[in-house]
Amino acid sequence: MDRSSNTNKEAHSISEQEEDTIQQLKQGLDELDQAFSVSTPSLEWFEHNLREQKKIMKARFLRDFAFFLFSAVVIMIVTIAIYRAIPLLFFVVQALGLLILIPIITLQKKQKQVDHS
């Protein structure tokens, strides 16, 4: 009987310790809540940030698109000029481009295979 009464006392004291711990945790969390107020920003703030981000993205898109168009026009002008002035040079440049492009594509495929393995 002594063993069962000791076990009951230990179980009771453990539960009291757990309750004390829980109370201390709750008290600490309440103090944190009071010390650092959490407030959600207003809807206007979110809308303002969204508008600003859209403006930034639109400006970046326009800049990138203008750069792309400028590059395309320059490449086309140079290509046409080379073809009109020296057709042999045009075909040599085209062949070199293909010869350089084939190893690049092959290396990229090998890297993708290694990455997936």
Quick one: average pLDDT of 75-99?
A: 89
Tokens of 93: 């440049």
The pLDDT of residue 24 is 93
Rounded to two decimals, what is the model's pTM? 0.47
pLDDT at 113: 78
